[in-house]
Amino acid sequence: MNFGLQGKVALITGGAGGIGSAAARMFAQQGVAVALFDRDGEGAEHVASGLRGEGASALGGAMDVRDFDAFALAVERTEREFDGIDFVVSVAGGGTRQTLSTLSIDDWHAVVDLNLTGPFNAIKSAAPALRRRGGGAIVTVGSLAGLRMSMNNGVSYTAAKAGVLGLTRHAAYELGRDNIRVNAVLPGPVLTPQMKAKISAETLERVPRELPLGRWVQPEEVAAPILFFCSAMSNACTGTHVIIDSGLHVGATGPRDEYDRTRDRT
């Protein structure tokens, strides 16, 4: 499907990870030049190199999204290399499993800065570049934890991801008259390489049984609505979000086979 994005430019953070690299590939397939940044600069460049090998325009580099000045330099580099920026996708994020009783103040700030200050830095530093293009789109990868609580990470992650939705709404209001749309995608259980590396075999097998669709979300399925929010098909969408979670948000708390077993069937 052609989204009409040929010749556009996207800056993506978390470009070395599962969702970021999937988004980069999907954009590249649409003829979008991509600038990938990640704390793992070598990983970002590896993804960019692979895309260049397939004929795409891509660059990769190291950047800590918590550092506003570093973000501003990444925006400057992208504009210099590709003569502008049309889309900014904030994917970089992560958390810890600490509880209120074990979470230190430094740990709190580290997670909140990564997941909330990072997207703020993206919006603040990139908005002038999008304004120079006559408008554009900013998409932040939040989490289903923005609407409920995280069972995989701790209180700092839940709080930060809830903050992403407030940031999205307010930034959308302020930037709307500049023709800059700001939206968020909220993934649930995504089977990225990072997720596979940290979960047990039991969890890998159990999670799908608890989801209405009966399967993990794939990174490409998060990349698709990101592409939608950057395309003309979402021209009237701003300050909103879409959930991608195989139905986890509907509230089921047990395996589907148990649900079926305890229901009368006629």
Q: Domains plus CATH for the chain?
A: 9-261 (3.40.50.720)
Q: CA 185, 189, 63, 224 torsion: positive or negative?
A: negative
Task: Read off the pLDDT of each residue in 51-77 and give the average, rounded to a whole number.
Answer: 97
241-244 and 33-38: which strand pairing? unpaired
Please give the average per-residue pLDDT across 216-229, as a whole number: 97
Alpha-carbon distance of 191 to 212, in angstroms, equals 16
Indicate whether 263 pLDDT > 80: no
Spatial distance between the Cα atoms of 128 and 151, rounded to a whole number of angstroms? 37
CA distances from 255 to 202, 248, 258 (A): 14, 11, 5
Q: What is the mean pLDDT of residues 207-218?
A: 91
- Does position 266 have pLDDT exceeding 60, yes or no? no
Residue 255 confidence (pLDDT): 78
Note the helical H segments in the chain. Answer: 18-29, 41-53, 68-82, 105-112, 118-132, 155-175, 193-198, 201-209, 219-230, 256-261
Q: Under a CB-based contact definition with an 8 Å cutoff, are residues 63 and 71 in contact? A: yes
Which residue among 157, 216, 228, 229 is the active-site one? 157
| Residue 173 annotated in active site | no
**Of 23 and 150, the one with more pLDDT:** 23
Q: Number of H helices and number of E strands within the chain?
A: 10, 7
pLDDT digits (tens, 9 = 90+) for 117-144: 999 999 999 999 999 999 999 999 999 9
* Residue 152 pLDDT grade (very low, low, confident, very high; cuts 50, 70, 90): confident
111 pLDDT tier (thresholds 50, 70, 90): very high
**DSSP class of residue 79?**
H
Q: What is the pLDDT of residues 155-200, one digit of tens each?
A: 999 999 999 999 999 999 999 999 999 999 999 999 988 888 888 8
Q: Which residue's structure tokens are 């999205």?
A: 168
Q: Is 12 helix (H, G, I), strand (E, B) or coil?
A: strand
Q: Is 216 a residue whose pLDDT tops 70?
A: yes
